[in-house]
Structure formats: C-alpha cells, structure tokens
C-alpha cells in the first residue's frame, strides 16, 4: 500500500538555484529577510511542511522574484487501483 508521502513531494523549492544565481549565501539571505538560517535550511532542503506568506513575501523582496520562482509544482503520477479488477 502506498501513502501520499510514498509518492514524493509535489511542491519543489528552488531556493538553492536562486541563491546561486545571485551569488548569495543562506546566511546573507537569512539576515536580509529576517528569517532564521535553520528555517531557510529546512525550506531549501525540501523538508518544510508549510511556509508563511510573510516569509514568502520577505524572500521575494530580498531575491527580487515571484513566488513561482521559489516554489514549483510537480504533479504526482497517476496510480491505477487494481483492487476492484
């Protein structure tokens, strides 16, 4: 039996790419955005379960980007339920 967690995340975070493009470190982003380095690390590594709009707004302001530049959506593969066959 598979659970929704077994199918992997459907939201991806592109914070590492944005930081590299801007030559910025996570520590610099943390200081400029007013978000802890720990919370940014959790977000960057894809372990976050949620993000506050205030955090997303601060990141967009500092990185001069749109929310869609930070977050991406990846549809889960469709599964077929063979138990009824």
* CATH number of the domain bearing residue 64: 1.10.260.40
Domain extent, residue 53, equals 16-68
Average pLDDT of the segment spanning 26-31: 98
- Tell whether 11 is covered by a domain: no
pLDDT digits (tens, 9 = 90+) for 34-83: 999 999 999 999 999 999 999 999 999 999 999 999 999 988 777 777 77
Residue 67 contacts residue 60 (beta carbons within 8 Å): yes
| Residue 13 in this model has a pLDDT that exceeds 90 | yes
- Tell whether 75 is covered by a domain: no
- Tell whether 1 is covered by a domain: no
Specify the 3-state DSSP secondary structure of 82.
coil
Instruction: Please count the structural domains in the chain.
Output: 1
- Tell whether 79 is covered by a domain: no
Q: Locate 8 and state its tokens.
A: 């992997």
| Residue 1 in this model has a pLDDT that exceeds 50 | no
């Amino acid at each position: 039996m598979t659970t929704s967690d077994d199918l992997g995340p459907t939201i991806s975070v592109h914070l590492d790419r944005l930081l590299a493009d801007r030559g910025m470190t996570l520590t610099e982003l943390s200081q400029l955005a007013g978000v802890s380095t720990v919370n940014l690390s959790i977000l960057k590594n894809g372990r976050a379960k949620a993000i506050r709009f205030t955090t997303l707004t601060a990141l967009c302001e500092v990185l001069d980007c749109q929310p869609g530049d930070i977050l991406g959506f990846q549809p889960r593969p469709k599964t077929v339920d063979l138990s009824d066959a």
